[in-house]
A and B are shown apart, each in its own frame.
Chain A
Amino acid sequence: MKMGVTFAALSAVGLAGAASAQTELSLWYHGAGSANAEEATMLEVIEEFNASQSDWVVTIESFPPIAYNDAVDAAALAGDLPDILDVDGPVMPGWAWAGYMQPLGIDEGFVEGWLPGPIGRWNGEIYSVGFWDAAVAMTTRRSTLEKYDIRVPTLDAPWTGDEFMEALTKIRDSGDFDYAFDPGMAWTGEWYPYAFSPFLQSFGGDIVDRATYQTAEGVLNGDAAIAFGEWWQSLFTEGFAPGTSQDGAARETGLLNGNYAIQWNGNWAALPAVEAFGDDVLFLPAPDFGNGPKIGAASWQLGISATSEHPDGGRAFIEFAMQDKYFAKFSDGTGLIPSTASAAADTANYKEGGPMEVFYALSEAQAVLRPVTPGYRVQALVFEKALADIANGADVADTLDAAVDEIGADIEANGGYGH
């Protein structure tokens, strides 16, 4: 371990003769192999921090994204966590509750004016903060909507659920596309709760009852949830959308190739659409199914591990890292949304008139955090399975009942998850 960290420090940070009085802080990062500038920017932040003061030296170990959470669990089990942890927003409460992390110890004023997504709170305390947020939009072409005489919705006047389905019906019946709508069923895993639970919330349901976080009864299988489920199922049974067997290839090329008319997609995939369609591209808000249009908030954040012997060092690094200039840098490198409006103004894509400006507004106006509970990791898996099963034709009420039971049993088995 020591060898590895030192090696990483030398090669990645380029810090040759380290001063003797400095204390080493290890940081684990989830973005190994990311082709875009995400990892590079992170390395740059670390390098500048290390150069900016003489007390601490941060060294980074990067993990492939899909292996990261499991690696942290294993390390926690073996008592081998680093000082600073990179953590996915919705996973943070679980890690905090399980004792992997400690509160950051920064005050609320620090995050004033931020988007809600990049702030990780648990039990009234801030545990983690992040550089960016992500947003999802209905991606399509102005010419497509005009051709079928469909109104272009706005942030203030989004499509209603009925309007949306009418639009899909027109497109489907024209036979011009393989599918009118691509929700992205190929992207299994976290995409399902992140991208699809806002639809459920717009119907008036939720994954778990946020008043107590002790049950999902009534919110995941109530009338609103069943209405959502029926709607969800109709997307697939009535031929509006490709089902769970969609492959990643179709997901990536479908809209650009003209096989799909409207795609529910994240801002990280927006640039290829801008390149392909130019001014014709549209990023539209989610439909309003009765309780307002909603999208998910999403962010990877930095926090301090419970076992760190130098939380003050970790805090110093995180406070240093959370500057507008780094937010802007991350955003320019990755296409993600910066955490603050002031940083957004400095970015290429989100400044006034920038091609993705709309996403900042979406994130600010409509973003809903995924359930803030340690039970989220299990709830996300249960929700994912329920949505896949419903899409494949399972009975809506029975499937949602089963999901409610499983979530309830898990909460009970974990003694209420500390709420």
Chain B
Amino acid sequence: MASKLTRSNRAGWLMALPGTGLIALFIILPFFLAFAYSLTNQRLASPNPTEYVGFENYRELLGLAVFTLEPERDEAGNAVVEDGEIQYPRLRSFTRNNPDYPNLQGKREWISWQSGENRTVILASDVVFMKALVNTFTFVLIVAPVQAGLALGLALLINQKLRGISFFRAVYFMPVVVSIVVVSLLWRFIYSPGDGLLNNILTGLTFGAFEPRDWLGDPSTALGAIMAMSVWQGVGFHMVIWLAGLQTISPTLYEAASIEGANKWQTFRYVTWPGLRNTAVLILIVITMQAFALFAQIDVMTRGGPLDSTQVLVFQAVERGFGKQDISGGSTISVILFLIVLCISFIQRYLTRERT
């Protein structure tokens, strides 16, 4: 690598300067400002002076506590059971103005499970943030592989020599060129409950066996519905990247494979796939970044509901920063998101490092 031929500080700096300079000014500097805000109580509109608060914003987002609820007991000391369910005292009697439990003040139930007679509860200072965190990860973990895989399938499908194939390529790409805001507006009609479009189609296809669902109104389907739509919208773009990669693979390699009698799977495994390595890294990173930045779909379709089942980090950051005018809180979420994605990209780079 470090041959004399390619050594040139001056030319190297000069050529990299416009790009890196602009990024330093318009991305890195604002990001450091955001980090600075996260250590203050900065508001969007306020006559009060901004104060340094240390890591208070982080504590308010990340605070957790574990608490064991004991059942209500009758005089004999047995747990009270009504309708087959053990009765517990209300959690709010511990979390609201209870001097015996100062560490629980203002916290809310996030997760709970049964252990024997007792119920163990994990409380969080900011349940909505915790749910956003989990939902974001769920979204990324499902959408990234599904979308990358489907995109590759489409790319292979569209990489045939058939009459009119470029027409199909254009059609598959069409959702990509439509703004995600527009797409989200359209899909709200499609996901409409009762006799909405999707329900009607599914009922028709199953000859009435399908029970209409409230796709976006049901916490169990809302995130899935948004995932499906996101994949639908984005897959065409990644198909094109795959396609660009596929087309850089020399036809002579395929000819050689066919001369040696390789079947389709072998050709894919030993010719196509190795040729796509850089493309695969690229796609994985691009999809992961886009998935973490999930915002517009949520903003247009559910605004985080129902019951926080579609809360995600960027939406929360924007909602706080602009909606609730809490710049420091919004910035804190941004910084946390950055740190998370940074860790993930280190892992990704490690896993996909060049094995030379």
Most buried by B among A245, A250, A401: A245
Assess whether A244 is in contact with B96, with CB atoms less than 8 Å apart: no
Assess whether A73 is in contact with B193, with CB atoms less than 8 Å apart: no
Assess whether A401 is in contact with B217, with CB atoms less than 8 Å apart: no
- Is the C-beta of A97 less than 8 angstroms from some C-beta in chain B? yes
A-B CB pair tally, cutoff 8 Å: 91
Interface positions, chain B 121-161, Cβ under 8 Å from A, are 127
Interface positions, chain A 67-91, Cβ under 8 Å from B, are 70, 73, 76-77
A416 to chain B, nearest CB (A): 10
- In the complex, identify which listed stretch (A35-43, A148-156, A349-357, A390-398) lies at the interface while the others stay far away: A390-398
Q: Which of A70, A94, A243, A402 is close to B217, meaning CB atoms less than 8 Å apart? A: A243
Assess whether A245 is in contact with B217, with CB atoms less than 8 Å apart: yes
Contacts A245-B214, A245-B216, A381-B323 given; does A77 touch B305 at CB 8 Å: no
Could you tell me the distance between the alpha carbons of A76 and B48 in the complex, rounded to whole angstroms? 15
Total number of A residues with any Cβ neighbor in B under 8 Å: 40
Interface positions, chain A 319-359, Cβ under 8 Å from B, are none
Assess whether A97 is in contact with B306, with CB atoms less than 8 Å apart: no
B266 to chain A, nearest CB (A): 49
Measured CB to CB, the nearest residue on chain B to A243 is B217
Assess whether B45 is in contact with A73, with CB atoms less than 8 Å apart: yes
B192 to chain A, nearest CB (A): 5
- Is the C-beta of B344 less than 8 angstroms from some C-beta in chain A? no
Total number of B residues with any Cβ neighbor in A under 8 Å: 40
Assess whether B45 is in contact with A389, with CB atoms less than 8 Å apart: no
Contacts A178-B194, A389-B305, A392-B307 given; does A402 touch B45 at CB 8 Å: no
Q: Which of A76, A95, A377, A392 is close to B219, meaning CB atoms less than 8 Å apart? A: A392
Assess whether A392 is in contact with B305, with CB atoms less than 8 Å apart: yes
- Is the C-beta of A247 less than 8 angstroms from some C-beta in chain B? yes
Given contacts A98-B47, A388-B306, A392-B219, list 16 more A-B pairs with CB under 8 A. Answer: A95-B45, A97-B46, A97-B47, A98-B45, A242-B193, A243-B214, A243-B217, A244-B305, A245-B192, A377-B323, A381-B324, A385-B304, A388-B305, A389-B308, A392-B306, A402-B108
Give chain B's interface residues, CB within 8 Å of chain A: 41, 43-48, 90-92, 95-96, 106, 108-109, 127, 188-189, 192-194, 196, 214-219, 303-308, 319, 322-326
Give chain A's interface residues, CB within 8 Å of chain B: 70, 73, 76-77, 94-95, 97-100, 178, 188, 242-247, 249-250, 377-378, 381, 385, 388-389, 392-394, 397-398, 401-402, 405, 409-410, 413-415, 418
- Chosen A-B contacts, 11 in total, with CB atoms closer than 8 Å, are A76-B45, A246-B193, A249-B189, A385-B305, A392-B217, A392-B307, A401-B92, A401-B95, A410-B326, A414-B46, A415-B48
